Amino acid sequence: MTREVEPVINDHWTRAEFPHELVPGIAELGIAGLAYDGPGCPARGALVGGMVAMELSRVDPSIGTFMGVHGGLAMGSIHLCGSDEQRERWLPAMARMELIGAFGLTEPEIGSAISQGLATTARRDGDEWVLNGAKKWIGNAAFADLVVIWARDEDDGQVKGFVVEKGTEGIEFTKQEDKIALRVVQNAEIALTDCRVPEANRLQRAESFGDTSNVLRVTRMDVAWQAVGCARGAFEHALRYTKARQQFGRSIAGFQLVQDLLVKMLTHVSSTTAMNVRASQLQDAGLLKDEHASLCKVHSTTSMRETVGWAREVLGGNGILLEHHVGRFVADAEAIYSYEGTREINTLIVGRAITGESAFV
């Protein structure tokens, strides 16, 4: 990441373009679907998967997000919700990154309330399903080889997952322009108009939104780790900068008020790392609950947001220049803060768990 990604990423960020030329190098690392033990997957477990997610985002949160969507959400949907045959069909090629995946859950009018209000429909027609509706914010979708689309079965009202492959008729992608965060990630709006997919592409073990939630619980931990990476990257750039920058005839790292900010950053990075290590250990032991992942996401992202702000502060004016990297982390943190469940929604999940009272509506 430091050698190949860091030198080129600001340029891609400015142009809002994805560095496709870096994909073969990332593929060689063998980190797609790292935690999963499905066909062709590395089966390295949640803790290693989380730490690698941190390391990617520590250099660039956009690449961290690209891998989170492909190796986490898309591969996770197939791994956790697909039949054995479907896992064999897609996972090995996705692990080799010959096929890139996307995950289509959020809709233009339904974000946080997706578990209740998902409006995209699926109608069974013989051996096929007919999908209609719209999706928004779908990472990688603009160039993905397959997109997992979550839609509500018109017959039984349950949410089901469908793998829609590139070139399928009735699905259209429109790249979302002018983002101020994660500009390298190619998010797209999706329009589904009588889009026909075979029954063989319906994820056979996705029977309700509860199965979608099983995927999100796992990937929410990855996002908590991405937040630690984003904070850690900003902290490390800030520490280096303060040692090099001179004011009043000495390095600014020697000023007490600057050290105060550096130590507050390190406190956040350390506490969120420790918390996520424990939760990933619980995940590896099969004990992770929704509220654990949500608590990690809340704490890691709120800490990240403060940390990147302090990092920018100690860089002074240079903090808003891309060439010093911290400005990119400040911007990208805003997206990590909101996706995979906002602070409010994850707080409500934890609140429900500790009080026994749901405060969602």
Could you tell me the two tokens for 265? 């950053």
Smallest separation (angstroms) from ligand FAD to the CB of 120: 11
Closer by beta carbon to ligand FAD, 92 or else 351: 351
Smallest separation (angstroms) from ligand FAD to the CB of 317: 27
Closer by beta carbon to ligand FAD, 271 or else 338: 338
* Integer Cα distance of 43 and 204 in angstroms: 22
Angle, CA 280 vertex, CA 274 and CA 281 arms, to 5°:
90
Let me know if 191 is exposed, middle or buried by CB neighbors in 10 A (0-12, 13-18, 19+).
Answer: middle
Smallest separation (angstroms) from ligand FAD to the CB of 342: 3
* Integer Cα distance of 19 and 62 in angstroms: 10
Smallest separation (angstroms) from ligand FAD to the CB of 354: 17
Closer by beta carbon to ligand FAD, 120 or else 272: 120
Closer by beta carbon to ligand FAD, 219 or else 283: 219
Closer by beta carbon to ligand FAD, 44 or else 299: 299
Closer by beta carbon to ligand FAD, 46 or else 74: 74
Collapse the DSSP code of 341 into the 3-class scheme (helix H, G, I; strand E, B; otherwise coil) and give the result. coil
Smallest separation (angstroms) from ligand FAD to the CB of 243: 33
- Range 276-295 burial, b when 16+ CB lie within 10 A, else e: beebbebbbeeebebbbbbb
Closer by beta carbon to ligand FAD, 30 or else 111: 111
Binding residues vs ligand FAD (CB under 6 A):
69, 103-106, 111-112, 137-139, 182, 187, 335, 338-342, 344-345, 360
Residues in the chain: 361
* Integer Cα distance of 319 and 245 in angstroms: 12
Q: What is the dihedral of CA 29, 34, 38, 41, to 10 degrees?
A: 10
Closer by beta carbon to ligand FAD, 137 or else 162: 137
Smallest separation (angstroms) from ligand FAD to the CB of 68: 9
Smallest separation (angstroms) from ligand FAD to the CB of 102: 6
| Phi, then psi, of 157 in degrees rounded to 5 | 75, 5
Q: Which residue of this chain has its Cβ atom nearest to ligand FAD in the complex? A: 111
- How many other C-beta atoms can be found within 10 angstroms of the C-beta atom of residue 24? 9
For residue 294, the surrounding DSSP H or E stretch is helix 290-314
Rg (CA), the chain: 21
Closer by beta carbon to ligand FAD, 137 or else 241: 137
202: which strand partners?
162
Smallest separation (angstroms) from ligand FAD to the CB of 109: 8
102: which strand partners?
147
- How many other C-beta atoms can be found within 10 angstroms of the C-beta atom of residue 297? 32
Q: Give yes or no for a contact between 215 and 318, defined as CB atoms under 8 angstroms apart.
A: no
Smallest separation (angstroms) from ligand FAD to the CB of 105: 3
